[in-house]
Amino acid sequence: MTQPVDMVKNPSLYAATLNNTLLSATLWNASVSPLIKLTFSQPLKPATVITSVTLKGNTGNVIPVLATVTNGDSAILVQSMASLAYLTQYTLTVSKNLQSASGGNLQTAVNNSFVTHLDSSRKFPTLTNEQLLDKVQQQTLKYFWDFAHPTSGMIREGSKHSPDIVTSGGTGFGVMALLAGMERGFVNRTEGLARIQNIVTFLKDKAQRFHGAFPHWMNGASGAVIPFSANDNGADLVETSLLLMGLITARQYFTGADALETNLRNDINGLWNAVEWDWFRQNSQNVLYWHWSPSAAWTINLKVQGWNECLITYVLAASSTTHTITKDVYDNGWARSGAFKNGNTYYNYVLPLGENMGGPLFLAHYSFMGINPNGLSDAYANYQTQTKNHTLINYEYCKANPKSYYGYSDSVWGLTASNIKDGYTASSPTNDQGFIAPTAAISSMPYTPNESMAALKFFYYVLGDKLFKDYGFVDAFSLDVVKNNGAWFADTYLAIDQGPIIVMIENYRSGLLWNLFMSAPEVKSGMRKLGFNGPAL
């Protein structure tokens, strides 16, 4: 038979405070030098205190503490012997071995958690805005200059991928990044030209092509396809588009009459003209298909349909002078006869196109690294409104923080595709797992300059010791200690996330890449054919 608790002898916890703040459920923003006071219903036996009180970190590590009795032995003061780590969860437990002066054991064990505050000190000296943008562009460029494949100059997929895996789309971004670097004086023009020529020569002479299109991944030394998935071992038309966007931009940059620049332009034209865009209609359908495999043909059978990151694919297909598509393919395939329209309002912003809440922010970046959305419209949307409102919806969602992730704010925002803890996901307001990718906010600078600059400054000055490394900002992070089991900062970089940072900052600063790509006569003609209007056309 269970003996009843002797309420006279058996103590209970009356109150718990941390630096005079009530400690009940998990407490956020606690001091790294906490003073915890536990008040009990009656005096305690001091000899049982030190063995009953334990403070542990979120990995289970025991933190040495000093525990002393006070208030006539009816309270315990707990202090850590050294400062605690920032932004870390700690759990204070008091076991039932704690006894009252009269010998009764604690009625209910104490188990309270708290999370220490973020280290808000500035990690780097203050720069002007222009100096900060220079710093970020120059540091990020190292991914595309120092970390490029040593044989081909092609851009590696990611810092933790096999070193021979290079990416077609990421290389297109890298070429545009190099152009920005040359214009800013971070890279010598002669050396930059030689690097881009090396890439183009590799693509011309070694890289496998399928009806003129390149694979998603290839070996950076041999040019052989590296399958992206079981049946994705041939042409990737979207990756080819991102690659050619960069190469056409380079062709427009190197306009010199000397042999080196003339040869580069000719080689780029050869690659550009060889892509059989119309063949990817798969038997003349009014839509483009994303993949084709030499062993599995059209098995993947994925149509390139909007709204997503693939506008550039239809623009280049329409712009081709050798294998063009008609406007019907754009209207029926990409626009799905208008079915890709949205028109709903989120956070007081109307979204013309695309999925609920806009989707991940890379949809507003990839195609628009070359296509200038300012003043651009067609039968379906105003693209200045589309890109800006998509970004503002993402920003307002993070500010509102409906899932209550710690750290989200007007300075910590930006959901897009990135590495996350133990995986990879396309983060968005409808797929929010608590991970912020620096590329999302920073690459949106042409659309939301004030909001993006605020985020950039927070990422650099406050989180910079964790975020800003060898190749610029790491891929993603989470400040939510509780929901994501500890604050997390990636130690990886991805080409498709680093590239837009440099390019879109440059488009914000000077419009360089927009002006170059939109100056291509084929692009002007192709976009007009699709019904686009705008000052750049």
Non-local (6+) Cβ contacts of 131 within 8 A are: none
184 shares its domain with 305: yes
136 shares its domain with 231: yes
Average pLDDT, the chain: 97
124 part of a folded domain: no
Q: How far apart are CA 364 and CA 272, in angstroms?
A: 24
Q: Where a domain ends, among 82, 116, 150? A: 116
485 part of a folded domain: yes
Phi-psi region of 435 (alpha: psi -120 to 50; beta: other; left: phi over 0): beta
pLDDT digits (tens, 9 = 90+) for 353-376: 999 999 999 999 999 999 999 999
157 shares its domain with 91: no
Backbone phi, psi, residue 393, to 5°: -65, -45
102 shares its domain with 143: no
3 part of a folded domain: no
Tokens standing for residue 59: 């990995």
Number of domains in the chain: 2
CATH number assigned to the domain comprising residue 52: 2.60.40.1220
pLDDT digits (tens, 9 = 90+) for 113-129: 999 999 999 999 999 99
396 shares its domain with 427: yes
62 shares its domain with 208: no
With a cut of 80, say whether residue 54 has pLDDT above it.
yes
537 part of a folded domain: no
93 shares its domain with 215: no
Host domain of residue 206: 129-529
400 part of a folded domain: yes
174 shares its domain with 290: yes
53 shares its domain with 168: no
Q: At what angle do helices 449-457 and 383-400 cross, to 10 degrees?
A: 40
In DSSP notation, 3-57 reads: PPP-TTTS--EEEEEETTEE-SSPEEEE-SS-EEEEEESS-B-GGGHHHHEEEEE
pLDDT digits (tens, 9 = 90+) for 393-416: 999 999 999 999 999 999 999 999
Q: How far apart are CA 375 and CA 174, in angstroms?
A: 27
Output the pLDDT for position 1.
Answer: 42
Q: pTM to 2 decimals?
A: 0.95
263 shares its domain with 346: yes
Which helix (H) or strand (E) segment is 378 a member of?
A: none
106 shares its domain with 134: no
CATH number assigned to the domain comprising residue 256: 1.50.10.140
pLDDT digits (tens, 9 = 90+) for 17-32: 999 999 977 899 999 9
